[in-house]
Structure 1
């Protein structure tokens, strides 16, 4: 299958699973989603692919789903709950970096087949994680702030899309710029870094435009979950 088809599959699978996590486990399901999504996205982002004729990193769909999860938490449970989820995602990345760095420090046995592959993948993760952490915290706090600012002016359920689109459009721009600069500057050619920034932001915007209906589905379960 082509990368474009896999992108569609990844999008549907990601947001369907997010909704299921909320439907089955309520608020805690979204907390878990933010935690595991942040970890997986930081691993996925080490892989670059050609899609629609341009170079992009993986992880964009998952990062967009994390923004949607915090928007749902913010809308239903309030700003403090959304901020708690943001810090949970932050803590999850720190735990991953610390434990995987320790794992790489072990001398492999002669029969080991994983060390080189793990070093290739997770050797990049600390720098990527630092960029992700800084961009994530700043971007998510901006998202929560803008979401609440818009909510004071458009507070009905029917205008959830205005809050979600408005907050994510601005916060994703800042998030993506910071992450691209910290994670890839000096590792990849500048032209590639700029291309990654542009394509990543565009993919996040497109994903945001398409994922809000999943937010409405999740919100429809609010009365039936904790």
Structure 2
């Protein structure tokens, strides 16, 4: 059955592509997540200074938010076409790779720096004295708390996302893609946004609870807005997958995924 074989090959490639996109962006987000950037400075605006949690709140976010929207979208697409089992499989695998990545990176901070490397990087681009090995260690040794926080928050968020997505899929059928995708993301990221920062920067860092609530709130507002704004991307992705697999095959794959998710609810 050449047609069936061709479909299976396309289905396998689609799953591998989506998993690769999911895993790559999750790892990148974890690596760059140690940096906190100012949205106001990025836009050339003054600090917002919004009153919240007993202090003035500026729009400061983890740089990891740049890549996480791709992870959200990819997770929903995998859930749509490969069910809860597919999402959980790549989620658990990603958590293992995140842990491996941090262990590998963290171990390099104990390596003795080469003398010439310290000398040629003794000053920054502004001419200020700099210890590049100290800077390297200061950045990546934040990784232990971030690793633990990220893995815990990531797994909680993914389990919540896939569960809510499947629950909404069961009640809406093949309609209202935006509802199950956006609804599951908004709920799961409410937990994820605060758990990762609390563990990484409060339990393992020196942040106050107020700072955790500030940055967590801003991150969640950002993720919520992105979830809403990227809804058209989901429809484009569905259209492209319909074209790639064939509309009937794509719909059958989605129905099979939904049926398998319902049996494991």
Q: TM-score, normalised by structure 1?
A: 0.83
Deviations 1:132-151 (A, max 9, x none): 10000011001000000000
Q: Which residue of 1 aligns with 2:126?
A: none
Q: CA deviation at 1:182?
A: 0.4
Aligned length: 202
CA contact (8 A) 1:61 1:204 kept: no
CA distance in 2, matches of 1:196, 1:26: 36
Q: Which residue of 1 aligns with 2:188?
A: 171
Map of 1:49-88 to 2, 5 A cutoff?
Answer: 49-52=37-40, 53=48, 54-88=59-93
SS across alignment from 1:49: strand
Map of 1:64-213 to 2, 5 A cutoff?
Answer: 64-113=69-118, 115-156=133-174, 158-185=175-202, 186-213=205-232
CA distance in 1, matches of 2:70, 2:240: 17
Q: Which residue of 1 aligns with 2:256?
A: none
SS across alignment from 1:187: coil
CA contact (8 A) 1:34 1:69 kept: yes
Deviations 1:13-65 (A, max 9, x none): xxxxxxxxxxxx62212111221211111122211112143222211232222
CA distance in 2, matches of 1:61, 1:214: 16
Q: CA deviation at 1:153?
A: 0.5
SS across alignment from 1:116: helix
Q: Which runs of 5+ in 2 are unaligned?
A: 1-12, 41-47, 49-58, 119-131, 251-265
CA distance in 2, matches of 1:58, 1:155: 36
CA contact (8 A) 2:194 2:212 kept: no
CA distance in 2, matches of 1:62, 1:87: 19
Alignment RMSD: 1.9
Q: Which runs of 4+ in 1 moved over 4 A?
A: none
Q: Which runs of 5+ in 1 are unaligned?
A: 1-24
Deviations 1:61-94 (A, max 9, x none): 3222212111100001211111112112212211
The answer to whether structure 1 residue 48 and structure 2 residue 65 are counterparts is no
Q: Which residue of 2 aligns with 1:216?
A: 235
Q: Which residue of 1 aligns with 2:22?
A: 34
Q: CA deviation at 1:118?
A: 2.2
CA distance in 2, matches of 1:78, 1:61: 26
